Amino acid sequence: NRISPDRSYGGFYRRDKFRYVVFSCNGRRAYGTRFAAYIHKHKLGTVIETDRNVNPNSGHLVKVFVWTINHEALKVWSAAHHG
């Protein structure tokens, strides 16, 4: 049984398939922090983040974020931005 994407979201994701989004950034860059702030500002869910830590494979600093999605708010946001 194949579940089709929710067309009210523009079909860009399936609400039934996930609750969390994990994203990361180079620990010295602010793009992950800016994205987390955008999620918070638009009430699209909650975001928790780790401290900066050294990736043992690359030696670079990395910060990880976990976004708990507010699906109803994301649906409204999606309709407003992707019609």
Average pLDDT, stretch 49-71?
Answer: 94
Question: Per mean pLDDT, which range of 24-28, 31-35, 45-49 is the poorest?
Answer: 24-28
**pLDDT value of residue 30:** 87
pLDDT digit string (tens) for 6-31? 554 455 555 556 789 999 999 777 89
CA distance 65 to 25: 9
Cα–Cα separations (whole angstroms), residue 31 to 3, 22, 23, 47, 76: 33, 14, 11, 14, 24
Specify whether the CB–CB gap between 25 and 33 falls below 8 A: yes
